[in-house]
């Protein structure tokens, strides 16, 4: 199931690259932003159209519980975690140990210089989008199995939380993201305990602002201005 | 008839929303906080007219000012970061405002009725227009007077020194800073102005719908706020207006006969529009061409020259050359 999601995601990533980036000149960054928003609406609507707007049940990866004394863990969540860690490892290997990864980083830092060194911007970007799509596909399959159902509506709050964690942890820092993820998760449950579920997210957003004021680079980020 | 008047009201409010993002986008900042400012303006203005019995215009101005004050406060921490981080920060702010109003109860008994915002149920009975006997047509005229004033003000600002400063920051921050522009001040001012306009839009929105709730100010509204100026082009305020008419008039209302398929076409047409016109519907070149046309209309000699060109086919071959250039570019993109 996961390899299939990965493949489908990769194909979609490539399609998105061709439809939203390929023909828009690099001098118009806002245009690519807008075209991807259009694509988001289109994909959402295709899903809604195909499922008649109803959430679809999603099979779990594995059944069963893992017991450790007083604590019990859902086995499927552990599988999700392990698959996610494996995907992250694969991404790090790809970025830092392969020629493609070197080219990707070169293109993101100095597109003109990379092109002068003989890299094809188009090919590297297409490959990057394929990888992004594949990772997104894996993430989607994992989220679907963790939540137990699929609907285009489930992703928006998760995306917002994920982005907040990325910023608090420091953009581009993987240990930072892990620490921030644990921190935000703990803070969320604490606020929920103290102030109730409806006010919980306000305080998480305020936490983000506290970080923006005092540590704009995030917990472990090195670049205080962001990118 | 009322349908078209209602459509004009919607277009007016969305134009204000788009203009509020336009000012911020001129400085090169992508913000998703506009829906939050709109919510603040809507709730403040509605509470003033319903609970405090203020007149409409002072209430709208107060709503706008409240949103502007919040925008100024938020601007300082948020504008320390750029790019994706700023998008996330403003998105979080917008969501925080929405959740604040989700938890916000302030009800006053009026006669045998309790009025005021009530958390998730929202704020009903914002009946300023019906109570004072305004017709739909009068409301529409009122909205467009405000839209016209704001648009004229931004258009004038755009042509003045202030506009040049905003665009300088948007084009190249380092160059702007080295020519003595205070980046933080400019960005916070743009954010404040944007907050004021979004607050106005919210106040008007609250009064013509008569019922607001936190769900009216979600991420989609914030996305549309930046979509209008980007889709319309940042070369002039009329681009934003054109984009609002395109989206609200054509994509939302004009394609309604397509039923379910409209929503599918909606995203696809936005993707197509950005591919065909990356600089926006009214990009810099189109604006320059329109300006030239207007100059032609004033100058009879130049008009005759153009007519001669058309007669000799020179203008036509110019258009052909433009098409050929575009095909070349696309072919180059395919690597063929």
Among B235, B187, B184, which residue's Cα sits nearest to residue B28? Answer: B187
Candidates A16, A22, A32, A34: best to mutate against B (most CBs of B within 10 A) is: A34
Pairs across A and B, CB distance < 8 A: 141
- Rounded Cα distance between B38 and A40, Å, is 24
For chain A, what is the total number of helices (H) and then of strands (E)?
Answer: 9, 4
Is B335's pLDDT higher than 60? no
Cα A190 to the center of its chain, rounded Å: 25
Q: Please state the rounded mean pLDDT for residues A113-135.
A: 91
Among A172, A173, A170, which residue's Cα sits nearest to residue A224? Answer: A170
Given this model, what pLDDT does residue B57 score?
A: 93
- With tokens 């915002």, the residue in question is B117
Asked if A71 has any chain B CB less than 8 Å from its own CB, the reply is: no
- With tokens 């863990």, the residue in question is A73
CATH topology of domain B2-276: ABC transporter involved in vitamin B12 uptake, BtuC (1.10.3470)
Note whether A226 contacts B82, CB cutoff 8 Å. yes
Chain B: give the shortest CA distance to residue A115, in Å.
14
- Rounded Cα distance between A142 and B327, Å, is 43
Strands A65-68 and A149-150: unpaired
For residue B118, the cross-strand partners are B105, B122
Tens digit of each residue's pLDDT (9 = 90 or more) over B30-74:
899 999 999 999 999 999 998 888 899 999 999 999 999 999 998
Note whether B82 contacts A49, CB cutoff 8 Å. no
Note whether B333 contacts A22, CB cutoff 8 Å. yes
Give the chain B residue nearest A120 (alpha carbons). B335
Average model confidence (pLDDT) across chain A: 84
CB-CB neighbours of B218 under 10 Å: 15
Q: How confident is the model at residue B288 (pLDDT cuts 50, 70, 90)?
A: confident
ipTM (interface predicted TM): 0.79
Taking a C-beta distance cutoff of 8 angstroms, is the pair B243, B18 a contact?
A: yes
Taking a C-beta distance cutoff of 8 angstroms, is the pair A197, A213 a contact?
A: no
Spell out which residues of chain A touch residue B95, defining contact as CB-CB under 8 Å: 160, 201, 205
Q: How far is CA B52 from CA B44, B49, B58, B103, in A?
A: 11, 6, 12, 21
Given this model, what pLDDT does residue B143 score?
A: 94
Note whether B99 contacts A49, CB cutoff 8 Å. no
Taking a C-beta distance cutoff of 8 angstroms, is the pair A59, A52 a contact?
A: no
Give the chain B residue nearest A42 (alpha carbons). B267
Asked if A52 has any chain B CB less than 8 Å from its own CB, the reply is: no
Note whether B231 contacts A34, CB cutoff 8 Å. yes
Asked if B279 has any chain A CB less than 8 Å from its own CB, the reply is: yes
Q: What is the DSSP string of B122-141?
A: BB----HHHHTT--HHHHHH
Taking a C-beta distance cutoff of 8 angstroms, is the pair A55, A149 a contact?
A: yes
Taking a C-beta distance cutoff of 8 angstroms, is the pair A23, A141 a contact?
A: no
Taking a C-beta distance cutoff of 8 angstroms, is the pair A181, A165 a contact?
A: yes
Is A225's pLDDT higher than 50? no
Q: Please state the rounded mean pLDDT for residues A4-28.
A: 88
Note whether B96 contacts A212, CB cutoff 8 Å. no
Among B3, B120, B4, B131, which residue's Cα sits nearest to residue B56? Answer: B131
Tokens of A191: 């606020």
- Rounded Cα distance between B54 and B128, Å, is 10
Length of chain A as a residue count:
227
Q: What is the pTM of this model?
A: 0.84
Cα B263 to the center of its chain, rounded Å: 21
Q: How confident is the model at residue B294 (pLDDT cuts 50, 70, 90)?
A: confident
Q: How confident is the model at residue A226 (pLDDT cuts 50, 70, 90)?
A: very low
Chain A: give the shortest CA distance to residue B33, in Å.
13
- Class of residue A122 by CB neighbours under 10 A (exposed 0-12, middle 13-18, buried 19+): middle
For chain B, what is the total number of helices (H) and then of strands (E)?
Answer: 15, 2
Q: What is the DSSP string of A158-191?
A: HHHHHHHHHHHH-TT-HHHHHHHHHHHHHHHHHH
Helices (H), A21-74: 29-51
Asked if A92 has any chain B CB less than 8 Å from its own CB, the reply is: no
Asked if A155 has any chain B CB less than 8 Å from its own CB, the reply is: no
Q: Please state the rounded mean pLDDT for residues A11-40.
A: 87
Chain A: give the shortest CA distance to residue B124, in Å.
21
Taking a C-beta distance cutoff of 8 angstroms, is the pair B26, B187 a contact?
A: no
Which of A31, A206, A225 has its CB closest to that of B274? A31
Domain limits, chain B: 2-276, 299-334
Note whether B95 contacts A160, CB cutoff 8 Å. yes
Which of A34, A44, A199 has its CB closest to that of B274? A34
Spell out which residues of chain A touch residue B18, defining contact as CB-CB under 8 Å: none
A-contacting residues in B 153-212 (Cβ below 8 Å): none
- With tokens 């001040």, the residue in question is B185
Chain B: give the shortest CA distance to residue A32, in Å.
7
Tens digit of each residue's pLDDT (9 = 90 or more) over B185-199:
999 999 999 999 999
- Rounded Cα distance between A171 and B333, Å, is 31
Q: Please state the rounded mean pLDDT for residues B72-96.
A: 83
- Class of residue B323 by CB neighbours under 10 A (exposed 0-12, middle 13-18, buried 19+): exposed
**With pLDDT > 90 as the criterion, what percentage of chain B qualifies?**
38
Which of B103, B267, B275 has its CB closest to that of A199? B103
- What values do phi and psi take at B105, rounded to 5? -115, 130
Tokens of A146: 């963790």
Q: Please state the rounded mean pLDDT for residues B1-30.
A: 91
Note whether A38 contacts B96, CB cutoff 8 Å. no
> From start to end of chain B, where are the E strands?
108-110, 113-115
Among A150, A190, A116, which residue's Cα sits nearest to residue A48? Answer: A150
């Amino acid at each position: 199931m996961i390899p299939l999601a990965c493949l489908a995601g990769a194909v979609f990533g490539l399609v998105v690259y061709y439809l939203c980036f390929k023909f828009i000149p690099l001098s118009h960054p806002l245009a690519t932003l807008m075209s991807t928003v259009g694509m988001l609406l289109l994909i959402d609507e295709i899903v809604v159209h195909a499922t008649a707007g109803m959430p679809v049940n999603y099979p779990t990866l594995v059944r069963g519980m893992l017991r450790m004394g007083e604590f019990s863990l859902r086995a499927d969540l552990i599988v999700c975690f392990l698959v996610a860690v494996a995907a992250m490892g694969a991404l790090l290997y790809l970025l830092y140990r392969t020629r493609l990864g070197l080219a990707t980083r070169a293109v993101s830092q100095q597109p003109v210089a990379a092109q002068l060194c003989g890299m094809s911007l188009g090919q590297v970007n297409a490959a990057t989008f394929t990888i992004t799509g594949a990772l997104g596909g894996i993430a989607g399959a994992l989220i679907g199995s963790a939540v137990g159902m699929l609907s285009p509506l489930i992703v928006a709050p998760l995306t917002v939380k994920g982005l907040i964690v990325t910023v608090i942890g420091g953009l581009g820092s993987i240990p930072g993201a892990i620490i921030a993820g644990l921190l935000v998760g703990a803070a969320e449950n604490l606020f929920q305990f103290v102030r109730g579920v409806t006010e919980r997210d306000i305080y998480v957003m305020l936490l983000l602002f506290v970080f923006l004021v005092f540590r704009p680079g995030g917990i472990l980020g090195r670049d205080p201005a962001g990118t | 008839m009322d349908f078209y008047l209602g459509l004009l009201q919607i277009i007016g409010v969305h134009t204000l929303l788009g203009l509020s993002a336009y000012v911020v986008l001129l400085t090169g900042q992508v913000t998703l906080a506009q829906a939050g400012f709109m919510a603040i303006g809507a709730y403040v203005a509605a509470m003033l007219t319903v609970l405090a019995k203020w007149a409409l215009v002072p209430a709208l101005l107060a709503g706008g000012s409240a949103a502007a004050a919040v925008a100024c406060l938020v601007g300082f921490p948020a504008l320390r970061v750029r790019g994706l981080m700023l998008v996330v920060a403003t998105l979080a702010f917008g969501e925080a405002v929405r959740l604040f109003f989700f938890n916000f109860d302030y009800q006053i008994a009026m006669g045998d009725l309790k009025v005021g915002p009530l958390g998730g149920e929202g704020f009903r009975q914002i009946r300023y227009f019906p109570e004072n006997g305004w017709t739909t047509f009068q409301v529409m005229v009122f909205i467009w007077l405000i839209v016209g004033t704001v648009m004229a003000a931004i258009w004038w600002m755009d042509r003045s020194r202030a506009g040049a400063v905003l665009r300088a920051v948007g084009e190249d921050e380092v160059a702007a800073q080295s020519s003595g522009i205070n980046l933080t001040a400019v960005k916070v001012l743009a954010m404040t102005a944007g907050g004021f306009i979004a607050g106005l839009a919210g106040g008007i929105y609250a009064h013509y719908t008569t019922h607001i709730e936190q769900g009216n100010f979600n991420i989609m509204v914030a996305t549309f706020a930046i979509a209008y100026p980007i889709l319309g082009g940042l070369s002039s305020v009329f681009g934003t207006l054109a984009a609002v008419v395109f989206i609200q008039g054509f994509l939302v209302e004009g394609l309604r006969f397509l039923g379910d398929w409209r929503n599918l076409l909606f995203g696809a047409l936005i993707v197509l529009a950005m591919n065909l016109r990356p600089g926006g519907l009214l990009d810099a070149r189109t604006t320059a061409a329109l300006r030239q046309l207007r100059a032609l209309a004033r100058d009879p000699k130049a008009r005759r020259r153009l007519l001669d060109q058309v007669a000799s086919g020179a203008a036509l071959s110019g258009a052909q050359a433009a098409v050929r250039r575009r095909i070349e570019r696309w072919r180059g993109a395919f690597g063929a």
